[in-house]
Amino acid sequence: MFLREAIQMEIYNLMEDYVKHAIKVLLEDKEDICKCEQCRMDMICYCLNKTKPRYVISSRGFVHTRNEKRENMQMNIDILALGQEAIDVISHMPRHEQKIKIENKENKKEIGKSSFFFPVFVGRVVDEDFQSLSDVKVTLTFADTGEPAEMIGDYWKNPTTLVPAMDGTFSFHVQPLLADELGIKKNFKFCLEIEKEGYEKACKYFEIALFSSISSREIDIAANFYQIEDAILFKEED
């Protein structure tokens, strides 16, 4: 008896159901984007990587309580918003066409043969107890000028606002910058301006060194990520 029950039980991330349902609902009204299995799974993974997992022991006859359903109403709203973000991002850079052309928005000409290509910056905002925070505004700026960094496309937002389902996680992808020649090393200093009501405003600085590379007028969006240390916010003193 014990063995049979053990076989029927397994650990399950409840968020998978919420995310899969959200993507399914949102895609029903989309007609001008790819809905292939690869893209749908990438959209689901995009959301799951930005949400806090909720593990349960799943077995035959598992039932959610009424309180859980009430609690999840706001979470469902957040996941729908995150699902829309996932659709915007993945539909603009599907993995079956990973490489996209980068254009200079001012003259609409393709960037030259040598440019600085930035990785995707990923980080997390937590409180002094290292718990993730939501309703946080995060802005990525160039530290030397204070100007917001331009994103690689409209589907990356700067500033961005963190919703509860994102578990405090943010990401930015900066527009490539032209270089004078190939193989130049340059340090880029950035500042994360982080604001939340009831908390002290924080500025987190980081620096990354890049070499200008040969541009075939294309970049691989999924090439690499740059993990930023957690940014800690402290409550305002009374």
DSSP string for residues in 177-234: EE-SSTT-EEEEEEEEEEE-TTB--EEEEEEEEEE-EE--SEEETTS-EEEPPPEEE-
pLDDT computed for residue 114 by the predictor: 83
pLDDT computed for residue 218 by the predictor: 46
Return the CATH class of domain 99-233. mainly beta
Contact 9, 56 (CB under 8 A): no
DSSP state for residue 150 in the 8-state scheme:
P
pLDDT computed for residue 215 by the predictor: 56
pLDDT computed for residue 108 by the predictor: 39
Q: What rounded mean pLDDT belongs to the chain?
A: 79
Q: Phi and psi for 187 in degrees, rounded to 5?
A: -95, 135
Six token digits for residue 150: 């331009």
Strand runs labelled E in the chain: 10-13, 55-58, 99-101, 114-116, 120-127, 136-142, 160-162, 169-173, 177-178, 185-195, 202-211, 213-214, 218-220, 225-227, 231-233
**The pLDDT of residue 63 is above 50:** no
Q: Phi and psi for 81 in degrees, rounded to 5?
A: -65, -40
**Spans of all domains in the chain:** 2-97, 99-233
pLDDT computed for residue 5 by the predictor: 47
**The pLDDT of residue 170 is above 90:** no
Six token digits for residue 219: 């970049």
Q: What percent of the chain has pLDDT above 90?
A: 29
Q: Facing residues of 207 across strands?
A: 189
**The pLDDT of residue 234 is above 70:** yes
Per-residue pLDDT of 28-56, as tens digits, reads: 888 878 888 888 988 898 888 778 787 77
- Among 73-77, 88-92, 126-130, 216-220, the minimum mean pLDDT is found in 216-220
pLDDT computed for residue 120 by the predictor: 83
pLDDT computed for residue 17 by the predictor: 86
Average pLDDT over residues 17-29: 90
Counting Cα atoms < 13 Å in the Cβ hemisphere of 3 gives 0
Counting Cα atoms < 13 Å in the Cβ hemisphere of 20 gives 7
Winning range, highest mean pLDDT, from 70-84, 117-131, 206-220: 117-131
**The pLDDT of residue 72 is above 80:** no
Q: How many residues does the chain have?
A: 238
pLDDT computed for residue 171 by the predictor: 86
Residue 7 confidence class, pLDDT cut points 50, 70, 90: very low
Average pLDDT over residues 165-186: 86
